Amino acid sequence: MSIRSDSAPPASVDGATLMSVRDLSVVYRVGNRLVRALSNVSFDVMPGRALALIGESGSGKSTLGSALTRLLPRTAEITSGSITFNGKEGRVQLLDLSSEELRRFRWRDCAVVSQMAMNAFNPVMTIQDHFEDTAAAHGLRDKAKIHDKAYELMETVHLDAKRVLPSYPHQLSGGMRQRVLIALSLLLSPELVILDEPTTALDALSQRAIIKLLRRLRQQLGLTMIFISHDLSLAAELADDVATMYAGQIVEYTDVFSLFDKPKHPYSVGLIGAIPDLSADGASLVSIPGSPPDLVSLPSGCRFHPRCPLSDDKCERELPLLVETEPGQKVACFHWKDAQTLKGSDAFEGRNS
């Protein structure tokens, strides 16, 4: 894993956020049980920056991604909060939009490159059809123009437009489909692109290529992006800011360099310790003991306390809030000052391979 040397523009000082999420809570109703997938999540996305949402499976990161374009499954319900999108069309409250307004908002203002690129295309339509369909849904019907734009985007993602555009999805490889989906996401020049596990379904080589492509797109187009991933190395390579999620909450929000340099939440420390380092021997690989909590019956107090080496009575009783420790850095832990001591220690059990 490498920490990049290039750096995106810093968070704008005037505080003009592109998207701000406040106090967002989502529950799933499964039978008569409530699965609390997201609890009071708040964060801002600054224009031109890339935010990574990282966490284990079940941490709520994908639910958050779906909630941002209001594409949650039927069983999910947003119980509180607000999502404000402050784009070129003015300020909109996403939770107040009608379904027709939402439809227009999707892809034009905020495109989602989902983790299911393998199966993201209608099998009976060509790639060209998908571009035309998307454009037509947003009122663009000039086929020649759309074709030119599609052609140009194919070049941008390094695909042979002549071959790919008339193809059916099954004729393309997984990596190619992911590129096509990225190209398609740029069709309407959205202000925000959400990438949900953009590399997870791909082989290692395709992953590298997609990461390179996304970095280049960020540099060329200055895109604002949200990455959703369980893969810290993806965040390290692509993101400016990282929000670490645990059990439906953001437990740490910081810029990527500070996260890897001085993680403040014990969970972040554990996550970073759990990254396999190919250059070192297996002894340095550390795992976090225990497993994420059941979202139906959450532990009292801090949700991480049963697995945390620093937990004490207070952690069992009280839920720590996300507090600012330095400008642009927030953490939800009573003992964040001590988190550094966990780094490299054997507080998280070492695992020999």
Considering only 20-28, 150-158, 165-173, 229-237, which stretch makes contact with another protein by CB under 8 A?
165-173
Q: Single out the segment in contact with another protein by CB under 8 A; choices: 17-25, 38-46, 101-109, 255-263.
A: 101-109
Which x/- pattern, by CB under 8 A, does the window 303-342 give for another protein?
----------------------------------------
Residue 122 binds another protein (CB under 8 A):
yes
Alpha-helical (H) ranges within 305-348 are 313-317
Q: In a 3-state reduction of DSSP, which class is residue 41?
A: strand
Pick from 71, 221, 321, 323: which binds another protein (CB under 8 A)?
A: 71
Rounded (10°) CA dihedral 203, 208, 213, 216: 170
Q: How far apart are CA 305 and CA 313, in angstroms?
A: 10
Question: Residue 77 and residue 86: Cα distance in Å, rounded?
Answer: 24
**315 contacts: CB under 8 Å, gap ≥ 6:** 301, 302, 305, 308, 334, 335
Tell me the C-alpha distance between 200 and 178, whole Å: 11
The yes or no reply on residue 138 touching another protein (CB under 8 A) is yes
Of 184, 217, 245, 269, the one binding another protein (CB under 8 A) is: 184
Query: Is residue 107 close enough to count as binding another protein by CB under 8 A?
Result: yes
CB of 339 to another protein, least distance (A): 37
Question: Which residue, 59 or 69, is less far from another protein as judged by CB?
Answer: 69
| Cβ within 8 Å of residue 320, ≥6 positions away | 302, 332, 333, 334
Binding residue (CB under 8 A) for another protein from 49, 61, 108, 305? 108
> Which one, 14 or 170, has the nearer CB to another protein?
170
Both structure tokens of 203 = 């082989």
**Which chain residues interact with another protein by CB under 8 A?**
69, 71, 103-108, 111-112, 114, 116, 118-125, 133-134, 137-138, 168, 170-171, 181, 184
